[in-house]
Structure 1
Amino acid sequence: MSQSSGSEPVTEPLTVADVLALLQAAAPPELAEDWDSNGLICGDPAEPVRTVLLAVDPLTAVVDEAIGRGVDMVITHHPLYLRGTDHVAATDPKGRCVHRLIRAGIALANAHTSLDAAHGGVADALAARVGLLGTRPLCPSPVDPAQGIGRIGELERPTRLRDLAADVAAALPDSAPGLLVGGDPDAAVKTVAVSGGAGDSLLAAAREVGADVFLTADLRHHPATDHLEGGRPHLLCGTHWATEWVGLPPLAARLEAAASERGRRLEAYVSEVVTDPWALRLSTGS
């Protein structure tokens, strides 16, 4: 360890590869769904990293923020190319993001369903925002049944659906679409299932485990109406961005702590850029 002219020791910075290892320790790749993409998207594993920016989506506004902050690495929840690509030419927004990041010397990595499923990940963070106790996975992972997609747990005391919805709306970061409520607003509820991001595919699972309410996002008309015709759980539908953003502050804290445990310093910033596609909500009708 070298010494500066002052009294504080100077340590070697983490590398891109080091930060990726910390990320994968927090969100183990083996927990990811088989259709998913997680890992290093662009960047040199040997380059130093002192600062990272965490965001939900690798979009232009996030790249703007990363360059403006002068960070060394961006970690997003969503992959840049979920379905793969055969080019990264700067002829479309995704390609331009890659070129801008490389020119600025900024690496890009992501942890998607691996972070959704992990201990302390998106599902746990969303459950904590709701105030759930005794949580367990909604859909346990075959790799580790103690982890998995979604969580189910109990509220400290029964409440009305409308009151739970008000608490959830206040606990989520703000975005234009807000929170939708499906079911009887005055129904008594206590057992709550949650899953950040698109939750159509988990409606049956939430019913099977006996949830009174299912909080998720991106619910489509027909799956939601057909589900509600069959009874509980009632539905709370937030936005994809808001229900997944809640997993970023805990991840930032874990990365900083893990770096500190290794005698290194890492500053992790959480982007507050709202990357929901909707910028304005207007009430319809008279």
Structure 2
Amino acid sequence: MLVRDVIEAIETLCPPSLAEEWDEVGLIAGSPEWEAKRVLLAVDPCEATVREAIDGGYDLLITHHPLYLRGTSTVGAHTPKGAWVTDLIRAGVSLYAAHTNADSWGTAQAMADLIGIKDARPLVPSEEDPALGLGRIGRIEPKTLGELADRAAALLPKTPAGILVAGDESAMVETVAVSPGSGDSFLGLVDSLGADVYVTADLRHHPATDHLWAGGAALISPTHFASEWPLLPKLAGALARRLPGLETDVSTIVTDAWVSRR
């Protein structure tokens, strides 16, 4: 099995055409013609996950986030990211990113499945396939906001920053919207769709407080890493089913910026 076989499987599930215009997805380092028997999936391409892929003897590192989202003029080893690329190529490990195309396919759906949302539909349906798109909204078995937050905390990866909750924790919630990663741009949308609670990350003070003070949906905010991590086992399982014999593992290294909480 070659890297190009894995790429073909990923891009059948998550077509690059689903990616946002500003995004950069696809093969970052290595070759489509290199062998790919063992694959590691991670949220971020960084020193820790690159070292995990190399030391673990993997052939391909698939990350959710691109390495060079804003572009670069050098991959020289005198820069941190250039050093990672150099180390990967020396070790014969390819690097591939599936970002907003994977979001439309499965990042929000993975979160929806995790917390028990039924009949989830996209917040922003894709023109290419309305069953896909960014975010998800649907219904859960009614529970209190506090109970839903506890469920999320129990099922998502543990991070130093933890999970933030805004709203009356004793209030019953049933309609739940999710948008893993940075989702404050959808605050108005989830209210217009009748959400009782919105699960998303990276909420800034003013958008969040303005939303809440205007009577908006309650908020549950895990970290960026934790909210997007459920995509990895979902994608790993889908690849394993499409490519029998491919060994897939999911990194559990927490790659949030925050390392402790006081």
Q: TM-score, normalised by structure 2?
A: 0.98
1:274 aligns with 2:254: yes
Distance in 1 of aligned mates of 2:10 and 2:42: 14
Q: Does 1:226 align with 2:213?
A: no
> In the alignment, which of 113, 116, 123 is matched to residue 128 of structure 1?
113
Show the 5 A alignment for 1:45-124: 45-118=32-105, 121-124=106-109
Deviations 1:46-82 (A, max 9, x none): 1111001000000000011001111001000000000
Picking from 204, 221, 239, the partner of 2:188 is 204
- The answer for the alignment partner of 1:27 in structure 2 is 14
Question: Cα distance, 1:232 vs. partner?
Answer: 2.5
| Deviation at residue 227 of structure 1 after TM alignment | 0.7
1:227-264, Cα deviation, whole Å (9 max, x unpaired): 1011121100100000101110011111111012xxxx
Q: How many residues align?
A: 262
Question: Shift in Å at residue 204 of structure 1?
Answer: 1.1
Q: 1:169 aligned to 2:153?
A: yes
Task: Quote the Cα distance in structure 2 between the aligned partners of 1:145 and 1:45.
Answer: 31
* Letter paired with 2:89: I
Distance in 2, Cα, partners of 1:153 & 1:137: 9
Q: Secondary structure at the match of 1:75?
A: strand
Letter in 1 for 2:8: A
1:168-219 alpha-carbon deviations (Å, 9 max, x no partner) = 1111111111110011112221000001101111111111111000001000
Distance 1:179 1:280 in 2: 13
Alignment partner, residue 192 of structure 1 = 176
Picking from 20, 23, 27, the partner of 1:36 is 23
Return the alpha-carbon distance in structure 2 between the equivalents of residues 238 and 26 of structure 1: 26
Q: Secondary structure at the match of 1:108?
A: strand
Mapped to 2, the partners of 1:185 and 1:259 lie a distance apart of 44
Q: Distance in 1 between matches of 2:22 and 2:147?
A: 37
Segment drifting more, 86-95 vs 50-59: 86-95
Q: Normalising to structure 1: TM-score of the pair?
A: 0.90
Q: Choose the corresponding residue for 2:132, options 142, 147, 155.
A: 147
Q: Given that residues 139 and 205 in structure 1 are in contact (C-alpha distance below 8 angstroms), is that contact kept between their aligned partners in structure 2?
A: no
Q: Which amino acid in the other structure matches residue 65 of structure 1? A: E
Counterpart residue type for residue 162 of structure 1: G
- Whether contact under 8 Å (1:44, 1:107) holds in the other structure is yes
Residue 275 of structure 1 and its aligned partner are, at CA, apart by 0.2
Once the two structures are aligned, what percentage of the paired residues are identical? 53
Counterpart position of 2:166: 182
The whole-number CA distance in structure 2 between the counterparts of 1:33 and 1:145 is 15
Question: 1:272: Cα distance to partner?
Answer: 0.6
Distance 1:250 1:145 in 2: 20
The CA deviation string for residues 23-65 of structure 1, in whole angstroms up to 9 with x for no partner, is: 1112111111111111000111111110010000000000110
Name stretches of at least 5 consecutive residues in structure 1 with no aligned partner: 1-13
**Please, which moves more after superposition, 183-192 or 211-220?**
183-192
Choose from 245, 250, 261 the match for 2:229: 245
State the Cα RMSD in Å: 0.8
Cα distance in 1 for partners of 2:100, 2:14 equals 9
